[in-house]
Amino acid sequence: MRPEKPFCIGIIGGMGPRATVHFQNLLLEATGEKTDQEYPPFICASASRLPDRSRLLAEGRGEELAQRLAEIGRKLEDAGATVLVMPCLTAHAVWPSLQPLLKIPLLDLAALTARDLLTRDPPLHRIGVLATTATLRERVFERHFTGVNPRQVMAVTDVFQTEIMNLIFGIKGGYKAWHGDRLRALADQMRASGAKAIILGCTELSLATEMMRGLGVPIFDPLRIAAAELVRQFRSTFYSCSGPVP
């Protein structure tokens, strides 16, 4: 019988590269320990050459996207990963078809975010999602707000969505202070329109989270939620080990 592999995070990254590095920093912040050995080990594959996820989905090539992501996930597993994370929420449109192609768990960032939101008391019934057009069209978050715990995901105008897309691609080229100011202004528009909570539904937007303080509604950042979950999983194995973590 093969021995159980030690806990190791595999990051399917490069979508985009800055968001991937940002996520690694969030992992370190969420851990907050003093010694090297107390930080979770991770392996990262930067798949920056992967075609644009929004374009593949718009062309009906979601299965192709899932297959290509699975190839990367399997390489990470072969390298020692025991759990996978994908810092790209547009790519989560294919999570339902991607996970069965893998032997190890792939965190569903949208599901984790929905779980956090659904546990809030009092309930947050009207949700604003700042995300790519593909993420909204594929209902990446909305599919988790049905059944016994329905939530309304607010519709946005074409003009508003164009501004969000311009902001996302601007951040991909390098985050600047005005990006944060613009994101806050757009989030404030959403709040004024009735949003009781806002999800930063694109990983690039997580770079501007600090600018969202004091907005008046809860802000849910899937990258920070995922980092906290992975640290929780790591600690559950770290403290259950009788010997040192490799």
Do 125 and 64 share a structural domain? Answer: no
Q: How far apart, in Å, are the Cα atoms of 57 and each of 11, 48, 84, 109, 133?
A: 22, 17, 22, 18, 11
Residue 194 belongs to some domain of the structure: yes
CA–CA distances in Å: residue 6 to residues 82, 85, 192: 8, 17, 48
**Within a domain: residue 83?**
yes
Shared domain for 114 and 100, answered yes or no, is no
| Claim to verify: residue 114 and residue 216 sit in the same structural domain | yes
**Do 137 and 94 lie in a common domain?**
no
- Residue 149, pLDDT score: 67
- Is 159 contained in some domain? yes
Is 139 inside a domain boundary? yes
Structure tokens at 191: 């709040």
pTM of the prediction?
0.93
Tens place of pLDDT per residue across the chain (246 aa) = 455 789 999 999 999 999 999 999 999 999 998 899 999 999 999 999 999 999 999 999 999 999 999 999 999 999 999 999 999 999 999 999 999 999 999 999 999 999 999 999 888 989 999 999 999 999 999 999 987 667 899 999 999 999 999 999 999 999 998 999 999 999 999 999 999 999 999 999 999 988 898 999 999 999 999 999 999 999 998 765 534 444
Count of domains for the chain: 2
Residue 2: inside a domain, yes or no? no
Q: Determine the residue type at 114.
A: A
Residue 169 is part of a domain; what is its CATH number? 3.40.50.1860
Examine the domain organization and report whether 181 and 231 are in the same domain.
no
Do residues 87 and 147 both lie within one domain?
Answer: no
Greatest Cα-to-Cα distance within the chain, rounded to the nearest angstrom: 59
- Asked if residue 178 is part of any domain, the answer here is yes
Tokens for 123? 């309930």
Domain that residue 163 falls in: 110-221
Q: What DSSP line would sit under the chain, residue for residue?
A: -PPPPPP-EEEEE-SSHHHHHHHHHHHHHHH--SSGGGSPPEEEEE-TTSPPHHHHHHTT-HHHHHHHHHHHHHHHHHTT-SEEE-S-SGGGGGHHHHGGG-SS-B--HHHHHHHHHHT-SS---EEEEE--HHHHHTTTTGGGS-TTS--EEPP--HHHHHHHHHHHHHHHT---HHHHHHHHHHHHHHHHTT-SEEEE-SGGGGGGGGGGTTSSS-EE-HHHHHHHHHHHHHHHHHTT-SS---
Q: Are residues 88 and 161 in the same domain?
A: no
Please list the residues that pair with 43 across neighbouring strands.
10
Residue 209 domain-assigned (yes or no): yes
Q: Do 122 and 102 have their domain in common?
A: no
In a shared domain, residues 172 and 231: no
